[in-house]
Amino acid sequence: MADLRIISADDHLQEARDLWEKRVPASLRDEAPHLIDLPDGGHGWALPNGTTRPLGLDVMAGRSYEDYKASGVDWDEIRPGCYDPHARLSDMDIDGVHATVLYPNVGLFGFNDLRHDLAMACIRAYNDHLSEFCATDENRLIGVALTPALDPESAVSEIERVGKLPGIRGALLPVFPGENSWWGDPEFEPLWAAAQANGLSISFHIGPPRGLAGETGKALRSRPGGTEAVINLLPMSTAEALATMLWSGVFDRYPELKVISVESGIGWLGYFRERANEVYERHRHWAHTDLKEEPGNYFGRNIFATFESDAAGVQMRHLVGVETILWSSDYPHSDTTWPHSRENIDKHFKDAPDEDKRKIVFDNAARVYGIS
């Protein structure tokens, strides 16, 4: 299938070094993210919450594994494809990738721990930059906008704004909305209505799950093997969001809404879907479940998931639902398959029929994001 087109459903945009300096109001500029020289060498981002994020594993495309660094990377060392749209298209051509769906680097986990005016300024600045980046080629560069989780009104306002911007096809939300809130809560109904009305998908990119966020996560990382344990658990962090939206009937009320579990892998979703169907069969009567259909029917219609390397998931693709699965390259992160994505795909799908392969590497993402 040498002529097979490929869509990477999860890649990342390294924000331009002067993005927030140029775009946020002057009164907030000193508090917004900005690139700095780090004491131990290399560059990093000084973030509004007082932390620093080094240039490192987020921009490893083109390096050998032996040359990976968590910090100590200078801006001039990273591939221009990380931040320049024309260079990104060239890198996609090298890798044989037709289209890419773009998530942030610095802004990946949002700015929802900031005061409202600063958070909204940072989010809007990024989304405007993302739109301009994608406008270079709107059929190949697909933007997923940052969405504030500060309150439903702010989220709806930004969804309605970015829904009119060139190149924006989706909205990114954190894996859980707040300490005592769940995405299935009634207060978020206007958010789902706005996303459907504006033709935007909703993405939940992996991040610390509710039980490992904040101080709990820090405590675990301080223990032997704690960092590895957190990394091991991250892919399943989106399960809560999918479950609460599914069982609260969101997809019955908004049948065109599409939700993507991003960078989560797919192997665990086979059991997740099987378990949901069993819960429906055994417990819907006494629990007074209010779903119009068996939960598995929402997979591939409303629920989707991306993977980079997941041989077990590909083998179990029919349990997950072939129409549910989206392949991705994760450029330019340390997990990226660039520039060997076709070899990665061939390895994963060596025993799969061409029809399944085509759906997973192109058709499904094209359907979700309206890519021609």
Q: Is the pLDDT of residue 214 over 90?
A: no
CA 237-190-280 angle, to 5 degrees, is: 50
Q: How confident is the model at residue 185 (pLDDT cuts 50, 70, 90)?
A: very high
Is residue 100 helix, strand or coil?
strand
Tokens 């029917």 sit at which residue?
A: 297
The total of other beta-carbon atoms located within 10 Å of residue 126's CB is 26
Q: How confident is the model at residue 48 (pLDDT cuts 50, 70, 90)?
A: very high
Q: Residue 349 contacts by C-beta under 8 Å, 6 or more apart in sequence? A: 314, 356, 357, 360, 361
Provide the percentage of residues in the chain whose pLDDT is more than 70: 99
Specify whether the CB–CB gap between 194 and 257 falls below 8 A: no
Q: pTM score, two decimals?
A: 0.95
Q: Which domains does the chain have, with CATH numbers?
A: 7-18+79-369 (3.20.20.140)
For all residues of the chain together, what is the average pLDDT? 95
Quick one: average pLDDT of 319-344? 96
The total of other beta-carbon atoms located within 10 Å of residue 33's CB is 22
CA distance 255 to 258: 8
207, 219, 300, 354 from 213: Cα distances, Å: 9, 10, 29, 41
1, 179, 205 from 151: Cα distances, Å: 47, 13, 19
Is residue 197 helix, strand or coil?
helix
CA distance 203 to 200: 10
pLDDT at residue number 138: 97
Tokens 């090298």 sit at which residue?
A: 94
Q: How confident is the model at residue 17 (pLDDT cuts 50, 70, 90)?
A: very high
Widest distance between CA atoms in the chain: 62
CA distance 191 to 76: 40
Provide the percentage of residues in the chain whose pLDDT is more than 90: 88
Specify whether the CB–CB gap between 319 and 274 falls below 8 A: yes
Tens digit of pLDDT for each residue in 87-130?
999 999 999 999 999 999 999 987 988 999 999 999 999 999 99
Cross-strand pairs, 178: 181
CA distance 199 to 219: 41
End-to-end CA distance of the chain: 19
Quick one: average pLDDT of 349-360? 96
Length of the chain: 372
Quick one: average pLDDT of 67-72? 95
Burial of 343: CB neighbours in 10 Å, binned 0-12, 13-18, 19+: exposed
Q: Residue 98 contacts by C-beta under 8 Å, 6 or more apart in sequence? A: 5, 6, 7, 92, 140, 362, 371
pLDDT at residue number 2: 60
CA distance 264 to 229: 15
Is residue 336 helix, strand or coil?
coil
Tens digit of pLDDT for each residue in 267-303?
999 999 999 999 999 999 999 999 999 999 999 999 9
Q: Is the pLDDT of residue 227 over 90?
A: no
Cα 120 to the center of its chain, rounded Å: 20
Q: How confident is the model at residue 162 (pLDDT cuts 50, 70, 90)?
A: very high
Specify whether the CB–CB gap between 295 and 283 falls below 8 A: no
- The encoded tokens of residue 193 equal 């209505």
Helix (H) or strand (E) holding 141: strand 141-146
